[in-house]
Amino acid sequence: MNVTEAVRQRVSTRAFLDVPIPRDQLADLLETAQRAPSGGNLQPWKLIAVTGAVKDEIIAMAHRTLGANPGGAAMGDRPVYPDLNAVDPIYNRRRKSVGEMMYAKLGMPREDHAGRMGWFANNYRFFGAPVGLFLVIDRRMGHGQWAHMGMYMQTIALLAHERGWGTCMQEAWALLRDQLHDYFGLDEHHMIFAGISLGAPDPDATVNHLYTERAPQSEVVEFRGFD
């Protein structure tokens, strides 16, 4: 597999097989991911990988905290999205569009609130993945370093794809930043940014066959001075 294939093939995986990921293989992936670039080579990321009983404890804690209605939880001081009504409406359209595409794959129409909410709660089970990764950042870092964290995350996702594993990045865990902070015993400066579910994708799960759209290049890219 070359890089172009990996980039084109990677999709978010939201259903996993019950197959463990050996620690040495995960360590090897993360060793390579450490090559992700960052401004000033700050490498402004830390990562906590969980599996087994630790992962189960986090799942139980999530369900104790959020109950059956994770959508109602408060977001804290770093919301996942800005006010999408205050920016170009295209962003909200894209967000809604991917949601509808995913729920169509799951056979859950708009009126099926309970079904959709139940599905969303799967975030807090790592979608059944054997491994959960938590991205940790020093809260004193600025917007640049948050972007560099993204380089690290995409590098992890591509390396996972190369190994036949799937990933789903999960800012859903932002709802539990305080609880995770306490659970992991992070110092006052560190906070959870997001999680990543990692494992072997379930090839039979229709949700894993969602190949999301992207804006046409003309909406995103400007070429200047080329001709």
Ligand X SMILES: Cc1cc2nc3c(=O)[nH]c(=O)nc-3n(C[C@H](O)[C@H](O)[C@H](O)COP(=O)(O)O)c2cc1C
Of 156 and 168, CB closest to ligand X: 168
Q: Provide the minimum distance between the beta carbon of 55 and ligand X in the complex, in angstroms, as a whole number.
A: 16
**Cα Rg of the chain, angstroms:** 18
- CB-based closest residue to ligand X: 172
In the complex, the smallest distance separating the C-beta of residue 159 from ligand X, rounded to whole angstroms, is 15
CA-based nearest residue to 35, from 185, 154, 122: 154
Q: Find the shortest distance in angstroms from Cβ 223 to ligand X.
A: 24
Cα three-residue angle 163-164-166, rounded to 5 degrees:
105
In the chain, which ranges are E strands? 46-50, 131-138, 166-170, 190-199
Q: How far is the CB of 118 from ligand X (least distance, A)?
A: 14
**Based on CB atoms, which residue is closest to ligand X, 188 or 219?**
219
Measured from the CB atom, is 8 or 23 closer to ligand X? 8
Of 14 and 116, the one with the shorter C-beta distance to ligand X is 14
Rounded to the nearest 5°, which phi and psi values hold at 135?
Answer: -95, 125
Beta carbons of 148 and 42 less than 8 angstroms apart: yes
State the residues that interact with ligand X by CB under 6 A: 11-12, 14, 98, 123, 168-172, 194, 212
Least distance CB 101 / ligand X (angstroms): 9
**195 vs 174: CA distance, rounded Å:** 8
Residue with tokens 């969980």: 50
Shortest approach of ligand X to residue 129 CB, angstroms? 12
- Whose Cβ is closer to ligand X: residue 216's or residue 223's? 216
Q: Going by C-beta distance under 8 Å and a sequence separation of 6 or more, which residues neighbour residue 43? A: 34, 36, 148, 152
**Which residues have C-beta within 8 Å of that of residue 205, sequence separation ≥ 6?**
14, 15
Which residue, 172 or 191, is less far from ligand X as judged by CB? 172
